[in-house]
Amino acid sequence: MKLRQFFLAALCCALLPAQTPDPDAMKAAIQAAQSAGDNAWMLVSAALVLMMTGPGLALFYGGLVRRKNVLNIMVQSFAMQAVITVLWAVIGYSLAFGEACPYMGGFQYIFLNGVGTAPNGDYAATIPQLTFMVYQMMFAIITPALITGAYAERVKFTAMLLFSVLWTLIVYIPLAHMIWGKGGLLNAYLGGKIPVFDFAGGTVVHISSGVSALVCALYLGKRVGYPDQTRPHSLVLCFIGACMLWVGWFGFNAGSALAASGLASSAFVNTHLASATGAIGWAVAEWYRNGRPSVLGIVSGSVAGLATITQSSGFVQPQAAMLIGLTAGIVCYYMVAKVKDKFGYDDSLDAFGVHGVGGTMGCLFTGVFATNKINDALKVNGVPAPLGWVDGNSGQIFNQAIGAAIGIGLAIVGTYLILKLCDILVGLRVEQHQEISGLDVSLHGEEGYNLES
């Protein structure tokens, strides 16, 4: 027994440093551990956001089209994963997050020049700038992919590619820079003139894509056979896609804390609550109107709740998040089921009704419910500044409205001009006979379901 104690003591002496630990070294070790934790969470978040596009959105949209177009709509999302990735690495990241003027970034990060493992303190001080860059890349990928729902089943593949690249450059990047970029016009934290709170991209992603989707639907006109012959072909695919969107959205919103922090937990919980109440809201509205709750309605409600909470996910209390989600479910149901029919536009997969409407509501809700009890990053003279109306800063609703208006305006004008240009250069719509035989066969020479083979 004595011998064993002696050996243990000797072992401890050999392993532990003889002197008391140096406080600086300790601090550095803690920082390194925090940085490693933050980086791990942010890399996972980036992967989750990519999962929203590849399988998530592709399945959600894929199930809503007719089966002759299932491959075409899915590959549109996948094409964004390839094309926007390259665009973002070559110039997109630099123009969005470089520094130049209030409306657009500069060229200092072109070809990812200077983007390495060292953090960029302006945006996220504890993670490599490479992580921040790739996380933002996933947002740039999903945003034009959301728009594909509006021109589904009738757009040329070339036109879709050209449109998406130009749209990312002309609409997405300026908006991302204005709201999130250093020195951006609407950046509440880094020297913007009009402070707009957009935690995870309610304006940058959902208003921009949703409003652009409406412009696309109006410009392109209706599908052949709309509305009587456009029944979704597989709600099973749609359902799986919606489930993946829900999970992926944790990366989208909670990841926007840019750290594995308490704020990330707050955004995570808000996201989950709003998705749940969104599903309930839509289902109840539909139950009331039609006498039964539909599966597509329930999952669409969850997506509406998620899109609407995005902007405020890191600013509001959980109770507000539940209210925001519930409102989103009900309002988006009426937009999609009633208002769309009244105006007669063919927003094929309801990108506007869900993302445009939800995003705009979410932007204004942020002005109402944002509170420094949840997010105290904005400080005036070292004290957390009041954020939204609940903090006594009612003027923030006005700021948020300006942000939404700039997003809507840029989306309308930019999208219209890009569509016009694409129409002249390559033509937007496929030939009618191609549309009737389906884009899978006519554009890709394949079929989604070869049940005889």
Partner 1 sequence: MKKIEAIIQPFKLEEVKEALKAIGVDGMTVTEVRGHGRQKGHKEVYRGREYQVDLLPKVKLELVVSDGRKDEVVKAVVQSARTGKIGDGKIFIYNVEESIRIRNDERGDSAL
Sorted by sequence, the CB contacts under 8 Å of residue 77 that are 6+ apart come out as: 53, 54, 57, 58, 61, 145, 148
Half-sphere exposure at residue 367, Cβ-oriented, CA atoms within 13 angstroms: 20
Given a contact cutoff of 8 angstroms between Cβ atoms, the answer to whether 129 and 120 are in contact is yes
Q: Which of 162-170, 187-195, 282-290, 415-423 is the region at the interface with partner 1 (rule: CB under 8 A)?
A: 282-290
Query: Dihedrals φ, ψ of 196, to 5°?
Result: -115, 130
Is residue 227 close enough to count as binding partner 1 by CB under 8 A? yes
Cα angle 164, 366, 409 (rounded to 5 degrees) comes to: 40
Is residue 228 close enough to count as binding partner 1 by CB under 8 A? yes
Is residue 34 close enough to count as binding partner 1 by CB under 8 A? no
Q: Which is nearer to partner 1, 199 or 345 (CB)?
A: 345
Which residue of 338, 394, 409, 413 would you call a contact of partner 1, by CB under 8 A?
Answer: 338
Query: Dihedrals φ, ψ of 233, to 5°?
Result: -95, -25
Q: Which of 33-41, 317-325, 336-344, 408-416 is the region at the interface with partner 1 (rule: CB under 8 A)?
A: 336-344
Question: Closest approach of Cβ 297 to partner 1, in Å?
Answer: 7
Q: Which of 90-98, 99-107, 257-265, 334-342 is the region at the interface with partner 1 (rule: CB under 8 A)?
A: 334-342
Q: Which is nearer to partner 1, 2 or 231 (CB)?
A: 231
Which residue of 221, 232, 318, 384 would you call a contact of partner 1, by CB under 8 A?
Answer: 232
Question: Closest approach of Cβ 271 to partner 1, in Å?
Answer: 23
**For residue 228, what are its two tokens?**
């009587």
Cα→Cα distances 283→63, 305, 325, 350, Å: 19, 12, 12, 17
Is residue 286 close enough to count as binding partner 1 by CB under 8 A? yes
Sorted by sequence, the CB contacts under 8 Å of residue 350 that are 6+ apart come out as: 149, 300, 336, 340
Question: Closest approach of Cβ 372 to partner 1, in Å?
Answer: 39
- C-alpha span between 391 and 410 (Å, rounded): 30
Given a contact cutoff of 8 angstroms between Cβ atoms, the answer to whether 180 and 173 are in contact is no
Is residue 79 close enough to count as binding partner 1 by CB under 8 A? no
Question: Closest approach of Cβ 440 to partner 1, in Å?
Answer: 21
Question: Closest approach of Cβ 60 to partner 1, in Å?
Answer: 13
Q: Which is nearer to partner 1, 100 or 235 (CB)?
A: 235
**For residue 335, what are its two tokens?**
């937009």
Cα→Cα distances 23→19, 153, 301, Å: 12, 63, 52
Hey, which residues between 343 and 372 contact partner 1 (CB under 8 A)?
A: 350
Question: Closest approach of Cβ 168 to partner 1, in Å?
Answer: 28
Cα→Cα distances 53→75, 287, 337, 345, 420, Å: 11, 30, 25, 25, 27
Is residue 336 close enough to count as binding partner 1 by CB under 8 A? yes
For 299-328, b where at least 16 C-beta lie within 10 A, e where not — what string? bbbbbbbbbbbbbbbbbbbeebbbbbbbbb
Is residue 255 close enough to count as binding partner 1 by CB under 8 A? no
Which residue of 85, 294, 317, 442 would you call a contact of partner 1, by CB under 8 A?
Answer: 294
Residue type (1 letter), 336: V
Which residue of 76, 129, 300, 360 would you call a contact of partner 1, by CB under 8 A?
Answer: 300
Which residue of 193, 289, 379, 420 would you call a contact of partner 1, by CB under 8 A?
Answer: 289
Question: Closest approach of Cβ 387 to partner 1, in Å?
Answer: 35
Q: Which helix (H) or strand (E) holds 212?
A: helix 208-220
Question: Closest approach of Cβ 67 to partner 1, in Å?
Answer: 15
Q: Which is nearer to partner 1, 296 or 397 (CB)?
A: 296
Query: What residue has token string 């998406």?
Result: 164
Question: Closest approach of Cβ 26 to partner 1, in Å?
Answer: 58
**For residue 155, what are its two tokens?**
């757009």
Q: Which is nearer to partner 1, 225 or 409 (CB)?
A: 225
Which residue of 9, 40, 341, 417 would you call a contact of partner 1, by CB under 8 A?
Answer: 341
Is residue 431 close enough to count as binding partner 1 by CB under 8 A? no
- Size of interface with partner 1, in residues (CB under 8 A): 17
Q: Which is nearer to partner 1, 92 or 281 (CB)?
A: 281
- C-alpha span between 326 and 365 (Å, rounded): 12
**For residue 186, what are its two tokens?**
């609407």
**For residue 264, what are its two tokens?**
């990330």
**Interacting residue ranges for partner 1, rule: CB under 8 A:** 227-228, 231-232, 286, 289-290, 294, 296-297, 300, 333, 336-338, 341, 350
